[in-house]
Amino acid sequence: MSQHSDFTVTLLGTGVPVPSPDRFGSSTLVEAGDQKLLIDAGRGAAIRLFQLKVPLGRLDALFLTHYHSDHTSGIPDVWLTGWLESFFGTRRAPLRVIGPTGAKVLMSKLAEAYAADIKIRLADEKLPPEGVATAVEEFDRDGRVYEKNGVKVIAFEVDHGDLIKPAYGYRIEYGGRVAVVSGDTRYNENVIKHAAGADLLIHEVAAARPELMQEAYMQRILGHHITPRDAGRVFAQTKPKLAAYTHLALLGSDKIPPPTLDELIAETRQTYAGPVEVGEDLMAFDIGENVVVRRFAR
């Protein structure tokens, strides 16, 4: 647990499918009281947890927003490395996975894919079989999906495009405070409904320079995500103590560079005047009376 607050959200990966060393795949750590919850496990989630000195085996549950691989490709690493008998692992109980319909198939097929490794380590390293088991819970509608020791997690459907279903966001409640993670979504009323008055709203975003916005492939990408102007509308309507961007899809071409972070904020300012932060990997938010931003000291 962070010494700064008993309710902390840390962005582990703020990137998109681009295999960037600076922005890893989508993953967010929520520490609330004695619990550690992971929302999505994109590329590099295990590395980021290691940097935070959070043992992989220490996670209480993994929540999945949707099944795009940039949100799930880190699962086998978190799951299997977390089973190893070392300070960074030592899971001795089943990994609890909570996600929309599809989580059971994903986890059972991963167990099939890694059956040889699991068999070998059971026999060779005598690792406990419970530690590699998974306990998967699926849901197919809005509602509470987790409740333990005062921590409540509510899933809500979002709009990531007509063909990208299911897709959900999460609202985490603890000690009268609220953090919301949008998941991948375009402008969506259900986000506004579930994030209204939240202390912290973490939202995805996608942006391109106006010259590029007219291109067909850009329209297609932007049709699955939210523009900074529209994200600003969401922030203005929900009025969080702090809004923060993650999943930064800053799009460019061989001729037109991607927007800068300053331009991203300038666009957001067209529709929103309140507090907003551009997330970066390992940026942490301590949610107390106010929301305090901490950058990772490398």
> What pairs with residue 139 in β-bridges?
100
Helices (H) and strands (E) in the chain, counts: 9, 15
C-beta closer to Zn ion: residue 127 or 226: 226
Burial class (CB in 10 A: 0-12, 13-18, 19+), 128: middle
Which residue number, 70 or 173, has a Cβ lying nearer to Zn ion? 70
> Using CB atoms within 10 A of its CB, is residue 76 exposed (0-12), middle (13-18) or buried (19+)?
middle
Q: Which of residues 39-98 bind Zn ion (CB under 5 A)?
A: 68, 70
Cβ closest to Zn ion, residue 48 vs residue 68: 68
70 is catalytic: yes
Length of the chain as a residue count: 298
**Is residue 184 part of the contact set for Zn ion (CB under 5 A)?**
yes
Give me the least distance between CB of 280 and Zn ion, in Å please. 17
Supply the minimum distance, in Å, between the C-beta of residue 172 and Zn ion. Answer: 19
Annotated catalytic residue within 40, 60, 70, 184: 70
Nearest approach in angstroms of CB 41 to Zn ion is: 12
- Counting residues that bind Zn ion (by CB under 5 A) gives 3
Please identify which residue in the block is written with the tokens 């309507």: 237
Strands 284-287 and 276-278, bridge-based pairing: unpaired
- Residue 70 or residue 157: which is nearer to Zn ion going by CB? 70
Site string for Zn ion, 96-115 (x = CB under 5 A): --------------------
Residue 178 to residue 24: CA distance in whole angstroms = 25
Give the residue numbers marked as catalytic: 70
Binding site for Zn ion (CB under 5 A): 68, 70, 184
